[in-house]
Amino acid sequence: MTNRKIKHKKRDARTRREKSVYLIVAEGTNKTETMYFSNFQGQGRDYRIIFVSAGHSTDAESLYLALSKKWKELELSAARGDKGFVVADGDNDKDKLDKIAKALKKNKNDSIHFIVSNPGFEVWFLMHFGYSSKFFKDCDEVIGVLKKKVSKYDKNYDVYQEISELTDGAIANAKKLEDYFEGHSWPSVECNPRTDVWKLVDLLRNGDGY
């Protein structure tokens, strides 16, 4: 009998990939967002999260460019369910919020989304403890109120375990804020407080949205 050498074709890694990829980029070296979203890694059976570094950049355009570069580098595709998220704070700063709005309009990739909070990401954490449309002058004021709820909180503290069971209520409260500011342009200083984080969280937990 003649021995035949069976050649196994190497399959492209992209054809073997079963999970969609969700890219997330946040401002500078801020650990708050990365720590929080890391807790969802593994919760979704159909996606994996990859965090993108933008160095020390905090402006929306730089974040967007860093994420777009990684998207092309990994050859991601909307057809496979891949998505990208630019997580940015408005800081109740008109110039910064205007730049976020400008970057959002320049985005031509329907699978890349901007997750904006004004004044800051901590507005999302506060929504876990109840609804409020109270105006905040800056992120520090938001953090001050949050510390009354979570005394250990700081930018390097992973608050997820303390608030995760309250997430359904936080989503409902964040939606109420959207309704409260209906008719106002977003992102803008007119909407304070407001946060889009609930949309990404809803996707990571339930596959809803986007």
Query: Which tens digits make up the pLDDT trace of 37-54?
Result: 999 998 867 999 999 999
Q: SS3 for 70?
A: helix
State which amino acid sits at residue 9: K
Q: Is 49 helix (H, G, I), strand (E, B) or coil?
A: strand
For residue range 141-175, what is the model confidence (pLDDT) as tens digits? 999 999 999 999 998 899 999 999 999 999 999 99
Which residues fall within 8 angstroms of residue 48, CB to CB, at 6 or more apart?
A: 19, 20, 21, 22, 41
Two structure tokens written together for 126: 């506060």
Give the residue-averaged pLDDT of 71-83. 97
Alpha carbons within 13 A on the beta-carbon side of 29? 2
**Mean pLDDT of all residues in the chain?**
91
Residue 114 belongs to domain spanning: 19-206
Using the predicted structure, report yes or no on whether residue 16 has a pLDDT greater than 60: no
Task: Examine residue 200 and state whether it is found in any structural domain, yes or no.
Answer: yes
Among 151, 159, 84, residue whose Cα is nearest residue 121: 159
Q: Confidence class of residue 4 from pLDDT cuts 50, 70 and 90?
A: very low
Cis peptide leading into 187, omega within 30 of 0? Answer: yes
Domain assignment of residue 4, yes or no: no
Model confidence at 18: pLDDT above 50 = yes
Residue 183 belongs to some domain of the structure: yes
Q: How many CA atoms lie within 13 A of 41 on its CB side?
A: 11
Q: How far apart are CA 12 and CA 15, in angstroms?
A: 6
Give just the sign of the alpha carbon dihedral 190, 192, 194, 195: positive
pLDDT score for 42: 83
* 1 inside domain: no
* 183-207 pLDDT tens trace: 999 999 999 999 999 999 999 998 8
User: What stretch of H or E contains 162?
Assistant: helix 160-163
Measured distance CA(154)–CA(176) in Å, rounded: 26
Res 5 pLDDT > 60: no
- The number of folded domains in the chain is 1
- 157 lies in a domain? yes
Does residue 115 surpass a pLDDT of 80? yes
* Strand, helix or coil for residue 66: helix
Residue position matching structure tokens 């876990």: 128
Look at residue 137 and tell me if it is in a domain. Answer: yes
Residues 174, 42: Cα–Cα separation, whole Å: 25
Would you say residue 9 lies in a domain? no
- For 12-58, give the DSSP string: PHHHH--SEEEEEE-STT-HHHHHHHHTTTTT-TTEEEEEE--TT--
Which stretch of DSSP H or E encloses residue 51?
Answer: strand 47-52
pLDDT at 2 over 70: no
Q: What are the structure tokens assigned to 186, written together?
A: 């977003």
Q: Is residue 51 domain-resident?
A: yes
pLDDT at 1 over 50: no
Average pLDDT over residues 64-90: 97
